[in-house]
């Protein structure tokens, strides 16, 4: 079984990544790294820089993942700053900002960046469209309790293990796994 190191500070994210990649025959290891993220309007740039630093530190094939919730009526906010916004104003804040707005559409984007030499970075994107719920659901982490993917009426948090059926992160990781299977083994 091929092994890959997933570098992140977020263990909950790692568990998701691990289960998605295992189903594709890839064993994920966890490296807890607090990688510098740059402030930019582009999720791509953040992922590329993080992959570079992770490789520089670990010197083995790595993936990093970066995702963001982009709310249409808020001009893409919280976007690439989703973790900071979550830690401060949180889901309550997002719901408050959407009070009285008709358009509750949003999308979750995930970018997986892979490198096995530190200079070539390969990017894989996943995206899921949906809406922001009216109330915060129980359970889940991050924005999962307020994001309802298109085609269902439950939030990511309520979908629990079924979440991966819709997830932007799963989508990006599967693209990566397929590319790895085809081009690298």
Tell me the closest approach of the beta carbon of residue 127 to a copy of itself, in angstroms: 19
* Closer Cβ to a copy of itself, 11 or 75, answer by number: 75
C-alpha–C-alpha distance, residues 47 and 75, integer Å: 21
Tell me the closest approach of the beta carbon of residue 90 to a copy of itself, in angstroms: 9
Tell me the closest approach of the beta carbon of residue 78 to a copy of itself, in angstroms: 8
Tell me the closest approach of the beta carbon of residue 180 to a copy of itself, in angstroms: 28
* Closer Cβ to a copy of itself, 56 or 162, answer by number: 56
Residues 106/69, Cβ–Cβ less than 8 Å: yes
* Of the candidates 136, 40, 127, the residue with the CA atom closest to the CA atom of residue 89: 136
Give yes or no: 103 in active site.
Answer: no
* Closer Cβ to a copy of itself, 37 or 144, answer by number: 37
* Closer Cβ to a copy of itself, 40 or 184, answer by number: 40
Binding site for a copy of itself (CB under 8 A): 36-40, 46, 74-79, 81, 84-85, 87-89, 93, 96-97, 99
Largest CA distance in the chain: 52
Question: Using omega within 30 degrees of 0 as the cis cutoff, is the peptide bond preceding 98 cis?
Answer: no
* Token digits of residue 147: 């994001």
Q: What is the separation of C-alpha 55 from the centre of its chain, rounded to a whole number of angstroms?
A: 19
* Token digits of residue 123: 């990017």
Q: Which residues are catalytic?
A: 66
């Amino acid at each position: 079984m091929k092994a890959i190191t997933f570098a992140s500070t977020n263990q909950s994210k790692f568990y998701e990544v691990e289960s998605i990649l295992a189903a594709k025959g890839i064993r994920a290891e966890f490296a807890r790294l607090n990688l510098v993220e740059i402030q930019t309007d582009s999720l791509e740039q953040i992922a590329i820089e993080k992959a570079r630093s992770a490789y520089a530190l670990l010197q083995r094939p790595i993936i990093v993942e970066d995702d963001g919730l982009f709310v249409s009526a808020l001009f893409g906010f919280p976007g690439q700053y989703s973790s900071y916004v979550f830690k401060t104003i949180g889901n309550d804040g997002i719901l408050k900002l959407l009070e009285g707005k008709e358009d509750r559409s949003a999308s979750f984007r995930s970018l997986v960046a892979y490198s096995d030499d530190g200079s070539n970075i390969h990017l894989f994107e996943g995206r899921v469209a949906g809406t922001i719920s009216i109330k915060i659901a129980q359970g889940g982490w991050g924005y999962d309790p307020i994001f309802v993917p298109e085609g269902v009426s439950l939030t990511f948090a309520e979908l629990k293990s079924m979440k991966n059926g819709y997830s932007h992160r799963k989508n990006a990781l599967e693209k990566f796994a397929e590319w790895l299977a085809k081009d690298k083994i």
